[in-house]
Structure 1
Amino acid sequence: MCRRFVLDLDWEALAAGLDIADDNIDRDDLPEPSYNMAPGHTIAVVAQGRDGARHLAGARWSLVPAWSRTDVLPYPTYNARVESIASKPTFAASARSMRALIPANGYYEWKGGTNGRPFYFHADDDHALYMAGLFSWWRRSLGAPWLLTATIVTCPATDGPASVHDRMPLLVPDDFVGPWLDRSSDCTDMLDDLRKQGTELSRSLRFHEVAPLPDPAETVHNNDPKLIRPISRNTGTPALLF
């Protein structure tokens, strides 16, 4: 399941590519670049507002449903399985009308479990990946500030990605961005087609092994492109690039 990813994108270029008006970019809340995004961190989400326009904003990675009395749930909500998003109470309301794109440069998966070998996945042309997401607004009490939270939707992995892990983020192709973000549409009508097209997109991903990632709490001084540098499987040292 996706629990780490890389986010170091040009917000202006991303917004232009997704038809997001300049006034709808919440620059104050967008995250700083990170090569080790982890649950609980502020990530970027693209979503359609009630005004019908697309917005780019920061959100806490781990969805909190509006009905929850606390923002710390007894189970993880940084991922949501596509097979159950429409029926699981935690995600059902968001799946109906609060769907989002979660942009990323790439993501990590581990081969052999949590303490296994990490691999970095990215697009062949290094185009931003649009991971399917859900969002929710939550507040502790009436009059308290609203908190925007989000989760990444995952699906079964196939082909190359499946050689590392049996799950992966559900990727949204460019021509599916509109239907996925459309708040008036029912996601259950599109999930089969989205999964098929997302699977086709995943076949073009490139991936390589990387060194073990530092604890997210330690990345303040250890959070740069070297985290995605390939290593040699035989020696565990950085691979020669020339």
Structure 2
Amino acid sequence: MCRCFAADLDWDAIAARFDVDEDDVNPVALPAPSYNLQPKRTIGIVAEGKDGKRHLTGAYWSLIPAWSTGKELTYPTYNARVESACVKPTFAESAKSMRAIIPASGYYEYHGRRPYYFHAPNDAPLFLAGLFSWWRAPQPQSPAPWLLTATILTCQAVDGPAAVHDRMPLLVPRDMAGTWLDRSIDGAVAGASLMTDMQNGGTELSRNLAFHEVAAFGPEDDGRTLIRPLQQVQPPSLF
């Protein structure tokens, strides 16, 4: 599972990495640097629009399917399991043609109540696989504005990450980013192979992540101190 991550990123570099034109970057909508992004807050996503162009913008982190009558669902939607995203009613339409990449500096997983921070060994950005959906509240008299919403896909944890938690975010391999974002690839038809390939490639990337325990923090805490390795207190010794 992934319910908190850090994003202190150079958005211009992210746009260049995914060939997003300057006119298709929405800097006003992108989140400020944060080391404590939580569900129902704004996160940055890269996605392909119906115009065939890639866009970099902000999204509400908790996917709301277009058919939902309200913004608050009775179950959490900030994560979706890659194994079932193509068949779950909440995520199926998005898995079909609305797939996204969510850039992050790193993410947190909990072992019980103890948080651990996962990141690339060289602190390069991580690219998490996600889904998106457009939603707006039903208001017959005056249509409400559309809200872009998103979820992060998770998969079975392996190796080091599995020692902390049984699930982990699905990472997007560099050579699969184009395929993942391509809306012309129908996930409902190619879903099994597309998701399986993504899971295999993303799992290999996760095996190489560095991680360390950090101090517990609250929902309003922020800053680089959150990712500082927890100082292990050594018991006193008489010898």
TM-score range, shorter chain: over 0.9
2:199 matched to which residue of 1? 195
CA distance in 1, matches of 2:172, 2:52: 20
Task: Provide, for residues 190-225 of structure 1, a one-character-per-residue CA deviation record: whole Å limited to 9, x for no partner.
Answer: 1111111111100110000000022x2x23xxx110
CA distance in 2, matches of 1:109, 1:155: 13
CA distance in 1, matches of 2:186, 2:205: 23
1:30 matched to which residue of 2? 30
Deviation at 1:80, TM superposition (A): 0.3
1:139 aligns with 2:136: yes
Runs of 4+ in 1 over 2 A off after TM superposition: 232-235
Structure 1 or 2, whichever has the larger Rg, is 2
**Structure 2: any 5+ residue segments left out of the alignment?**
235-239
Amino acid corresponding to residue 231 of structure 2 in structure 1: S
Amino acid corresponding to residue 198 of structure 1 in structure 2: G
2:233 matched to which residue of 1? 234
- Asked if the contact 1:209/1:233 (under 8 Å) is kept, the reply is no
1:6 matched to which residue of 2? 6
CA distance in 1, matches of 2:233, 2:213: 11
Aligned pairs for 1:1-242 (under 5 A) are: 1-112=1-112, 116-141=113-138, 143-187=143-187, 188=191, 189-214=193-218, 216=219, 218-219=220-221, 223-234=222-233
SS in 2 for 1:93: helix
CA distance in 1, matches of 2:197, 2:81: 16
**Structure 1: any 5+ residue segments left out of the alignment?**
236-242
CA distance in 1, matches of 2:58, 2:198: 25
Amino acid corresponding to residue 51 of structure 1 in structure 2: D
CA distance in 2, matches of 1:154, 1:50: 26
- Asked if the contact 1:97/1:186 (under 8 Å) is kept, the reply is yes
Amino acid corresponding to residue 46 of structure 2 in structure 1: V
CA distance in 2, matches of 1:20, 1:2: 26
Deviation at 1:232, TM superposition (A): 2.5
Deviation at 1:17, TM superposition (A): 1.1
Amino acid corresponding to residue 131 of structure 2 in structure 1: L
Task: Provide, for residues 104-156 of structure 1, a one-character-per-residue CA deviation record: whole Å limited to 9, x for no partner.
Answer: 000000012xxx11000001111111100000000012521000000000000
- Asked if the contact 1:2/1:168 (under 8 Å) is kept, the reply is yes
